[in-house]
Chain A
């Protein structure tokens, strides 16, 4: 009984200390906060410098994250939202819920970055991942003409799926429907999310799966398995740039700014490559982890800016649905 009382005392004392500290709430996607994602390390690193408590809240994926913010509206619990990408920025800005931030950094993105509301924290190229011992097509036309089987994700429910849609649109413009019609017989199936697609690919259900050029790095670094490679497409690879922004309604504006600035510092950036399996937005002083040098680097980067992406999204989806529903 006495021990219990002491334990209870200690417990309430620590929670009292915790309560005195300012709290910063960051909404992000679920895989960021998972025990295998960057979340736990980021929390530890930021709390070591901020004299605050960092609450990371996970919401399914980027698109669901934005829906949550819209649902909560002006009195959202979130101070910062981390995990939107360029395809969601226009819709996010339209809500008027986000405030400009003062983050500055020497970004090492392959594209110029000058958005005053959202700051990037990592990026990657979409790519088809295949077994390294199998030959891969060199572009979408070759893929469509051959009999390589692929698994892709549905753009209506998955971020990579939407990325592929914009990839084809950015590379081929008005010819996109023709490309999709050609790809129709290569597509084994379309999945709800990335995990189903990647899992089925690993089981051998298809020759290639839509993922990222950085996916082989996971197998190489975490599993010491060099059997996966990403196919380099000569029309260029569409990029995903993941960003974070501060909410206008935050009651911790300084702390939110501090977090966003911390986000582009080495302490945060060096966690990214081997937890989120993406390229850091600012290459840390120590460089990229060993193994990243073996990755496919596209010769050309494709990225529609956020307004363009929002403008062509629905048209591209209609073309995709039309071509694959035949």
Chain B
């Protein structure tokens, strides 16, 4: 191998990245090749593109921007219930879209809780529908994720740096400028890119909160191309546009997020000497908690009234969902860990780019493409569950990489040369040094993947038959059959399962550390 010797083998990661690229570009090509005619970009597509970009940019800026003070407050304070709050932060992200929409509007809608309170004072209900509503909903989904990613950045600053800064008499602002700003400069671009990519493929949320066809996104246009027009060429073209936009954002993020790390520490637990203003941190923590927990509370309250209507069919679907989530988590780790190692060697930025494409790809295009590819070989319905597990893993990959890459890079940079000088085998380096040190990140990534997979409808709707249903699909079916209360009960069960899986894996990774 040319170049500098590396403590980890980049080849498996390159293989995993190639697999992802083949899956995403291959399915897109499969759809494009089935198209009868080429298709151009009409005026309606341009306006959809414009709206999609505007809302995704605003959503990314607000989610990441608001997440900074929240994460900083959480990083500086220790209080009772902090661990529970951080775990609950994962919840909005994993709710099925339809459940989250109804939960959000129960709080922020015309007849929502806030409007009820306003009515007491003789004020008109809040007007939630419009671009601001779309951004609010996307912040609800993504603020928690952004907070967790940024918080992790804070936790990865070795405690010795804070100690040294305190000894040198750094006050709050100097501490922020010298230690925290460089960390944010490294972490934020990636967070912005991930949230941007998620919001780029928004459809039902954008339409409903946007209040009508003004809020038409590219994803809606793709759906329309598939079902209303059956114009596969247009679907493939629009999906290609999504991919290009996401790739551009990801490349920009990679470019801007360069910067040196903080060096190795002795893994002491972090202690801060810059107390700062308590009220400031308290404000951000409670504001975020109220904003995120109110809609969740409404989901829980609705769910409690339907909890006795959860039938055995729903429990069976829940079991299937848990199995799919478990498989999906394993697949995710098998893809993400080698890819993170490859990226950590510093010479394969393209691998990181492949990883983020999973977010950009329209699930409808991946699903249809897989269907076209699988059908000549096997009955797609029989493969519904494995395909769902695989696609869920690919969708979770960008998050996993954002979680794993910074720490992997750090470990390789700090311990790589020592390992090489000791003539340590790559296998020993990975199993003895890298994986043990990545344990919290692996736990977090696995927890997120399991929770996402449990909650996501994924591609199952394209493949399912009567006998196989995951929990999200079963919830949709209940709603379609007027059984809103039973569906709400199912949603509560889903929330509990997802949170349980997340808690278990995330805790498992951090059992020795304080959160």
Query: Which A residues have a C-beta under 8 Å from some C-beta of B?
Result: 30-31, 33-37, 39-40, 55-61, 63-64, 66-67, 70-72, 77, 91, 149, 154-157, 187-196, 198-200, 202-206, 215, 218-219, 222, 277, 320-321, 324-325
Once the chains are docked, how many angstroms separate the CA of A160 from the CA of B261?
56
CA distance A22 to B220 in the complex (A): 40
| B159-167, B202-210, B272-280, B405-413 - interface stretch | B202-210
Contact A57 B465 (CB under 8 A): yes
Looking at the assembled complex, report how far the CB atom of B30 sits from the nearest CB atom of chain A, in whole angstroms: 11
Q: How far is the CB of B313 from chain A (nearest CB, A)?
A: 5
B483 part of interface (Cβ distance < 8 Å): yes
What residues of B have a CB within 8 angstroms of the CB of A33 in the complex? 465-466
**Known pairs A57-B381, A190-B211, A199-B487 / 9 extra A-B pairs, C-beta < 8 Å:** A30-B464, A33-B466, A58-B465, A60-B462, A63-B228, A91-B230, A157-B224, A188-B110, A200-B109
Chain B residue numbers with a CB within 8 Å of A219 are 482
In order of increasing CB-CB distance, the 10 nearest A-B pairs are A36-B481, A195-B479, A204-B111, A34-B477, A33-B466, A63-B227, A31-B480, A156-B224, A192-B204, A190-B212
B209-235 interface bits toward A, Cβ cutoff 8 Å, 1 = contact, 0 = none: 111111000001001101110100000
| Residues of B contacting A: mostly | helix
The closest CB in chain B to the CB of A219 belongs to: B482
- Chain A residues with Cβ below 8 Å from B473 are 30
Complex formed: what's the CA distance from A56 to B464 in Å? 11
The smallest C-beta distance from B236 to any residue of chain A, in angstroms, reads 13
Chain A, Cβ-Cβ closest to B31: A71
CA A56 to CA B468, docked complex, whole Å: 12
Q: A67-B227, A77-B379, A192-B203 are in contact. Are A200 and B481 (CB under 8 A)?
A: no
What residues on B are CB-neighbors of A55 within 8 Å?
A: 465
The residues of B that contact A71 with a CB separation of less than 8 Å are 34, 368, 371-372
Q: Are B213 and A190 in contact (CB under 8 A)?
A: yes
A56-B465, A58-B464, A196-B208 as given contacts; A157 in contact with B223, CB under 8 Å: yes
| CB nearest neighbor in B for A31 | B480
5 contacts between A and B (CB under 8 A): A36-B477, A67-B226, A156-B224, A157-B228, A195-B476
Could you tell me if A205 and B105 are in contact, using CB atoms closer than 8 angstroms?
A: yes
**What residues on B are CB-neighbors of A206 within 8 Å?**
110
Are B213's CB and A56's CB within 8 A?
Answer: no
Known: A35-B313, A67-B226, A67-B227. A196 touches B98 (CB 8 A): yes
Residue of B with least CB distance to A36: B481
Within 8 A of A (CB), among B342-390: 368, 371-372, 375, 379, 381
Contact of B461 among A60, A67, A155, A189 (CB under 8 A): A60
- Cα A248 to Cα B239 in complex, Å, equals 33
Distance, CA A58 to CA B313, complexed state (A): 17
Q: Is the CB of B110 within 8 A of A30?
A: no
B302-353 contacts to A, CB under 8 A, are: 311, 313
Contacts of B311 in A (CB 8 A): 35
Is B85 interfacial (CB 8 A cutoff)? no
Whether B477 pairs with A31 at a CB distance below 8 angstroms is: yes
| Min distance, Cβ A219 to any Cβ of chain B, angstroms | 8
Residue numbers in B under 8 Å from A30 (CB-CB):
461, 464, 473, 476-477, 480
Q: Which residues of B contact A188 (CB under 8 A)?
A: 110, 129, 211
Which residues of chain A are near B379, meaning CB under 8 Å? 77
Q: How far is the CB of A58 from chain B (nearest CB, A)?
A: 6
How many angstroms between the C-alpha atoms of A215 and B482 in the bound complex?
9
> B207 is contacted by which of A64, A77, A191 (Cβ under 8 Å)?
A191
Does A200 lie within 8 Å of B44, measured CB to CB? no
The one of A34, A154, A192, A204 that contacts B481, using a Cβ cutoff of 8 Å: A34
Taking a contact as CB atoms under 8 Å apart, the answer to whether A324 and B214 are in contact is yes
Q: Which of A34, A191, A194, A200 has the most CB of B within 10 A?
A: A34
**Is there an interface contact between A66 and B375, defined as CB atoms closer than 8 Å?**
no
Are the C-beta atoms of A203 and B101 separated by less than 8 Å?
Answer: no
B237 at the interface (CB under 8 A from A): no
User: Once bound together, how far apart are the Cα atoms of A215 and B248, in whole Å?
Assistant: 47
Q: Specify which of B34, B110, B480 is in contact with A195 (CB 8 Å cutoff).
A: B480
Segment 486-500 of B: residues with Cβ below 8 Å from A? 487
Output the nearest chain B residue to A33 by Cβ-Cβ distance. B466
Whole-angstrom distance between the alpha carbons of A193 and B464 in the complex?
19
Cα–Cα, bound, A149→B101 (Å): 19
Inter-chain contacts of A56 with B (CB < 8 A): 465-466
Taking the closest CB of chain A, its distance from the CB of B124, in whole angstroms, is: 13
Within 8 A of A (CB), among B443-479: 461-462, 464-466, 469, 473, 476-479
B247 within 8 A of A: no
Distance A222 CA – B484 CA, assembled complex (angstroms): 12
B102 at the interface (CB under 8 A from A): yes
Query: What residues of A have a CB within 8 angstroms of the CB of B479 in the complex?
Result: 195, 198-199
Shortest B224–chain A CB gap in Å is 4
Q: Which residues from chain A contact B371 at a C-beta distance below 8 Å?
A: 71
Write the chain A residue with the least CB distance to B235: A67
Question: Is A190 within 8 A of B208, CB to CB?
Answer: yes
- Quick check: A189 and B481 within 8 Å, CB to CB? no
Does the CB pair B109–A70 fall under 8 Å? no
Q: Verify if B106 is at the interface (C-beta below 8 Å from A).
A: yes
Question: Whole-angstrom distance between the alpha carbons of A194 and B381 in the complex?
Answer: 25
Given contacts A34-B477, A205-B110, contact A200 B466 (CB under 8 A): no
A187–B481 alpha-carbon span in the complex (Å)? 24
Chain A hits for B105, CB < 8 A: 200, 203, 205
- Residues in A whose Cβ lies below 8 Å from that of B481: 31, 34, 36-37
B35 to chain A: closest CB distance in Å?
11
Residues of chain A lying within 8 A (CB to CB) of residue B465 = 33, 55-58
Chain B residues positioned under 8 Å from A324 (CB to CB): 212-214
Task: Kindly state the separation between the CA atoms of A203 and B381 in the bound complex, as whole angstroms.
Answer: 36
Instruction: Point out the residues of chain A lying under 8 angstroms from B47, CB to CB.
Output: 325
Most-contacted residue by chain B among A35, A39, A40, A193 (CB, 10 A): A35
Distance in angstroms from B136 CB to nearest chain A CB is 14
| Cβ contact within 8 Å between B220 and A157 | yes
Complex CA–CA separation, A56 to B47 (angstroms)? 40
Query: Is B464 touching A192 in the complex (CB atoms < 8 A)?
Result: no
Inter-subunit contact A67/B212 (CB<8 Å): no
Q: Given B109, B220, B227, B313, which contacts A205 in the complex, CB threshold below 8 Å?
A: B109
A1 vs B215: C-alpha distance in the bound complex, in angstroms? 61
CA A61 to CA B483, docked complex, whole Å:
18
**Would A66 and B224 count as touching, CB distance under 8 A?**
no
A37 to B203, CA, bound (A): 27
